[in-house]
Chains A and B, each alone.
Chain A
Amino acid sequence: MRYQVRHVTKYKYNSPAELCHNIVYQCPSDYPFQKVNSYKYRISPEPNYEMNRRDFFENQYLYFSIQKLHKELSVESIAEVTLEVPQWMKVNPLETQSWEEVVEWLRTPEAMNDTRQFYLGSTNVELHRHYKEYALESFMPGRPIMAAMMDLNERIFNDFKFTPGFTDISTPVSEVFKTKKGVCQDFAHFGLACLRSIGLAARYMSGYIETIPPPGKPKLVGADASHAWIALFIPDIGWVEFDSTNNLLVSDQHIRTASGRDFSDVIPLKGIVYSGGDQEMDVTVDVNQLK
């Protein structure tokens, strides 16, 4: 499948800003089942300083700063990617190795540190025995890892209520677990907390997904959104992606921009602006399938 993604973020400041610094994680990276055909961005006003860099997790990001009075800031990213159906779609979950074997394998010298780092706690993903207990209901002794994961995915989907506006970026996992409410990044963080609390390596995926309009309704412009899901490491297969918000095993509809330990590693756009006034933000995302 080929997709075009257009992601526009606009800020309006009440009083003019004189200087701002920003980091943008919106450039899709190459993944085994994703090829980036093109990527371009437009920033207005034009930055005085811009630098494309790669981070510790091999994600590409953009650093820019603007030093002139401005009342509006607009960051537009346009990417075109080709997605393939991943190998893991063909795997029989019941034939994967037991999850305990994976936990053990991760602690052998064979496992690379780049992989192992994802079983540790991180800024937004604290480990706790409560998450472990929740996870163990799916990860029963000896159960094949992928089957267990699909079960966990489904339980999160059923137990948690998708509630936009209830949480924000500072909401801790414990709060999400208590209220069982949140949005995609909360479910992703909770899933990571479960998996890491039982010793598995799992990482946060940031990207986009196409919205399918209700039957008979036209698709609205700008109604798509950035999305978050998780990837679990299974030695025989690699990183396998799961979307708890939609109870899906990720196939060829998820466009990946970056992956990290949690949201804080790959925030789509963050910045600091020197200005006195309030600000308004407006984000639109369009994901279109190309024929």
Chain B
Amino acid sequence: MINSYLSERVGKKRKFFDEVSDADGNVYPHWKEVLRQFGEMGDESLKERAEDVSRILRENGVTHNVYGDPDGLNRAWQLDPIPMVFSEQDWSFIDQGLKQRAKLLDIVLKDIYGSRKLIRSGDIPFELIYNHKGFLRQLDKLRLPGDQLLIQYSADLARGPNGKMWVLNDRTDAPSGAGYSFENRSVMMQAFPDMIRNNKIQRINEYYNAVKRALMRLSWQDKLNPRIVILTPGPGNETFFEHAYLSSLMGFTLVTGDDLMVSDGYVWLKTIGGLEKVDVIVRRVDDIFCDPMEFNMDSRLGVVGLMEAIRDKKVTVINPLGCRVLENPGLMAFLPKLSQKILGEDLLLPSVATWWCGQKKELDYVLDNIQNLVIKRIYIDSQAKSIWGAQLGEKEILELKEAILLEPYMYVGQEMATFSTTPSYIDGEIQPKSAVFRGYAIADGSEDGYTIMRGGLSRSSKNEGLLMPSANAQSISKDTWVIGDDSTKQTKSIQEKVHYGDWILPSKTAENLFWLGRYGERSIHTIRLLRTVLKRRTESPDIVHPEKDDVLVALLQSLTAMTLTQPGFEEEDTLKSPDEELLSLIKDTAKIGSLAQSIQAFLNNSYSVRDKLGLDIWRILDMINDSSVRYKQIDDLRVMTSKLDNSLVRLMGFHGMMVDTMTRDDAWHIYSIGRFLESSINICVILKEVLKKDYPIEVERELLEKILMVNESLITYRYHYKSAIEISSVISLLLINETNPRSLTYHLEHIQKELGRLPSKHTQYLSSIQKKLLKASMMVRLCEPDQLVLVDKEGSEKRVNLINFFTELVQILASVSTDISSQYFSHTTFHAHSNSTLIPEI
């Protein structure tokens, strides 16, 4: 395939520069060996390895999310098995170019937030900065430890028609992709170990070491052992996978804004053991979302008071707020001159030809050539997309011109450049696609000021030639191979832990783990009960006669009591034809309490704590997701039973893996408490619903058998009692028996045990949670099964004692859950107030 790809391109008049070969078909030396090996591999083997790549990515749970797309959550990350390849010579130029550009932009940034001499002198037009929403006045006079302000810098590069590398975008706010780059490389090392070894591909690890070094020295307060956290917007963010990934790779705690608070001027991390001071925040939250107090008041992603802590030099945020002002296409037009003036050097990496409309001549040029240009606003966000002049109608052009004329300095025109192509393996074929490369620089105090990753994230668009890249669904990533001798000093592995003392558990993560346990257990209980119900359903006629079928009615109603789904089986209609309600109770994700919803909530919580879960657990989660997605297509209850079995085994498998792999730390305790608590509540609810009436003996026997089945205790029962099933023995086995792992006593004991291991302030007295649990335990241990099953009066079938007993237990357990939330999790919500109405009286 490779050979035919190459021969097809020989002599063809090409529209675009080709990365691989010149116009006569001569393959450039740095691609030769790589392509030869791809060729030797043969099409079959290439196909297999491409499948390996997808499989590994899927299994590693590598995803990215697409905003505004209902199916966009957790989309699989795509990696082209054919990498982008740079020669040693190309690379040394890119390396120098990125360093130079980072250095230049850093000086510009310091000027913008410092003396503003470059603006006063007109070297940087003032409108370009003062008009840019990324110029945050609150950051005026900002300083960081060390000489630099621009700590992380990324640039999107592509090769223009003349064979030179151009900069398309500068990324300075919160550049993404370094985590994906690491993952891409490790996947390629698994799928193509021979090629990586044979071709002297430079290692990218040193960059991550440099990041760690850089962050360590940026702390104002604790210089020796700073606490570093990664601030993420949360699991819905496009690149959340990467945030979690970098967090475990670098050993920095992953936090959301809710996990942090500012008090006494410092930033604190809320953990279940109390508050921990934070020194450095690596943010993946956009600048103006970081502090609702001083920027976007509607933001719930940030930390209230963060800006004041920054001003007070109590915390360092990386990249500093305010860096976004450099993500400014208008600035590109002025960089060559600035480079000359400030560094006395030519700018090595030119930008795409850019005309800033704030100048008369340039404005006229843009207006005259609007159809051949890409028009951008100087501040790029989701509302200000690039406009392709060529795609506009006459009326739209007039409107655009009018908008430009009103605020010309807000616009640039850029050349519609074409970019080089590389071979891409797409849908089993090799095709030429345009590729963009994102490089990464970090200010780590090294001699040149910046260390550059020897590789990076390349992406090819599905189009050929023209491109304005963004990490959208249309692009496929590539590993980036820099050929050459690895000159990297062997430094310590990045996996090496920063010595933090105790491992800490943020309250928010604890909350996710608690609910992970609860929803996991709820799903399991719901499935077990559903299975029993469905099986029993097959024994009754299509139209049920509720008055003749006590067993089915009791089971259906216990399902309603457990899931609290509406309308449920309280009414005659749904009891007569229960199938529709049963189906929706299983698969309707919009139905509150449905199985599909519980599983979704379970999965959502697992995504939020993904950095705590091992790889094999991810595989199981993937399978659980798969099987619950399948529910949607099934309309036949009989088929459903086998699917439910499937899900159940997988959910149990998940828990088994957790038992097997999780360290017994706070995370484990919280997860276990969630599980046992949920399970306890469910046991009580089912027992209450099924046993609330005194049925004829055959009905009761059957119901008791079902209860034992639902609680996985039928075999235990037979082993222990070897007699006909009888109510007080069942109650005794499911409530009181300490050795039965499915008994309530057993559950309650474990909750108390796990709770005792969590950090706690109470020493002398029992906490309210402990008191409630003790009361529940006592109630269970002291209960007399024979007394519970008595009916209230002769002739009545209602078991009042039993109903009251379980009602009280459920209430106590529910309030334990509430108390755990308020004691250990962050539940503070905040409200913005401002002196909003100004009403003068005259």
Chain A interface (Cβ < 8 Å from any Cβ of B): 9, 11, 18-19, 21, 23, 48-49, 51, 53, 55-57, 63, 65, 67, 109, 113, 116-117, 120-121, 127-129, 132, 164-165, 168-169, 183-185, 197, 209, 211-212, 223-228, 245-246, 265, 267-276, 279, 281, 283
Contacts and interface: CB of A to CB of B under 8 A. Distances in A.
Contact of B263 (A65, A116, A224): A65
A165 B832 CA distance: 20
B263 A48 contact: yes
Contacts of B140: 56
Which residue of B130, B292, B402 has the most chain A CB atoms within 10 A of its CB atom?
A: B130
B385 interface: no
Contacts of B212: none
A63 B131 contact: no
Contacts of A265: 137
Given A21-B308, A270-B833, A113 B407 contact: no
Contacts of B833: 11, 270-273, 279, 281
Nearest to A48: B264
A272 B830 contact: yes
A225 B308 contact: no
A131 B839 CA distance: 24
A212 B308 contact: no
Please provide the 4 A-B residue pairs with the shortest distance between their CB atoms, ordered closest to farther. Answer: A56-B137, A270-B834, A269-B835, A225-B840
B407 A127 contact: yes
B833 to A, nearest CB: 6
B4 interface: no
B618 interface: no
Contact of B831 (A129, A228, A279): A279
A228 B126 CA distance: 28
Contacts of A283: 835
A200 to B, nearest CB: 15
A246 B304 CA distance: 38
Contacts of A245: 840, 842
Contacts of B126: 113, 116-117
B262 A121 contact: no
11 contacts: A19-B263, A48-B263, A51-B312, A65-B308, A121-B131, A168-B836, A169-B834, A211-B841, A245-B842, A274-B828, A275-B830
Given A11-B833, A113-B120, A269-B834, A165 B839 contact: yes
Contacts of B261: 19
B543 interface: no
Given A132-B406, A272-B831, 13 more contacts: A21-B293, A49-B264, A113-B116, A168-B836, A227-B838, A269-B835, A270-B832, A270-B834, A271-B833, A272-B292, A272-B833, A274-B829, A275-B830
Contacts, number: 134
Nearest to A109: B122
A108 to B, nearest CB: 11
B136 to A, nearest CB: 9
B122 A23 contact: no
Interface residues of B, number: 43
Contacts of A21: 262, 293, 304-305, 308
Contact of A120 (B131, B834, B837, B841): B131
Main secondary structure of the interface of A (DSSP, over half): mixed
A25 to B, nearest CB: 9
B116 A275 contact: no
Contacts of A51: 308, 312
Which residue of B292, B308, B829, B834 has the most chain A CB atoms within 10 A of its CB atom?
A: B834
B108 to A, nearest CB: 15
A224 B839 contact: no
Which residue of B308, B831, B832, B835 has the most chain A CB atoms within 10 A of its CB atom?
A: B835
Interface in B222-273: 261-265
Contact of B839 (A65, A225, A246, A268): A225
A63 B833 CA distance: 15
Contacts of A268: 835, 838
Nearest to A56: B137
A129 B261 CA distance: 44
B842 A53 contact: no
A227 B840 contact: yes
B127 interface: yes
Given A67-B263, A276-B829, A120 B840 contact: no
A129 B839 contact: no
Interface in B806-842: 828-842
Contact of B834 (A48, A56, A121, A271): A271
B311 interface: yes
A132 B407 CA distance: 12
B138 interface: yes
A209 B838 CA distance: 12
Interface string B114-145: 00100110100011001100000110100000
B834 A117 contact: no
Contact of B407 (A65, A121, A227, A272): A121
A272 B832 contact: yes
Nearest to A50: B265
A123 B625 CA distance: 44
A157 to B, nearest CB: 12
A128 B406 CA distance: 7
A51 B130 CA distance: 27
B839 A212 contact: no
A49 B265 contact: yes
Contacts of A225: 838-841
A103 to B, nearest CB: 14
B294 interface: yes
A109 B839 CA distance: 40
B378 to A, nearest CB: 12
Which residue of B297, B311, B828, B841 has the most chain A CB atoms within 10 A of its CB atom?
A: B841
Interface string B90-128: 000000000000000000000000001001101000110
Interface in B290-329: 292-294, 297, 304-305, 308, 311-312
Contact of B264 (A63, A67, A132): A67
Which residue of B308, B829, B832 has the most chain A CB atoms within 10 A of its CB atom?
A: B308
Contacts of B834: 169, 267, 269-271
Contacts of A226: 835, 838, 840
A275 B827 CA distance: 10
A212 B265 CA distance: 43
Nearest to A261: B137
A116 B131 CA distance: 11
Contact of B311 (A53, A116, A127, A129): A53
Contact of A185 (B130, B293, B297, B838): B838
B541 to A, nearest CB: 53
Which residue of B116, B312, B839 has the most chain A CB atoms within 10 A of its CB atom?
A: B839
B343 to A, nearest CB: 24
A23 B293 contact: yes
A13 to B, nearest CB: 9
B321 to A, nearest CB: 14
A273 B122 CA distance: 43
A279 B833 CA distance: 9
A121 B262 CA distance: 33
Contacts of A212: 842
Interface in B676-699: none
Which residue of B294, B407, B828, B838 has the most chain A CB atoms within 10 A of its CB atom?
A: B838
A276 B822 CA distance: 13
Contacts of B294: 23
Nearest to A225: B840
Contact of B137 (A55, A184, A211): A55
Contact of B308 (A55, A63, A121, A165): A63
A253 B367 CA distance: 49
Nearest to A111: B126
Contacts of B262: 21, 65
B842 A113 contact: no
B137 A183 contact: no
Contacts of A164: 837, 839
Interface in B144-165: none
B838 A183 contact: yes
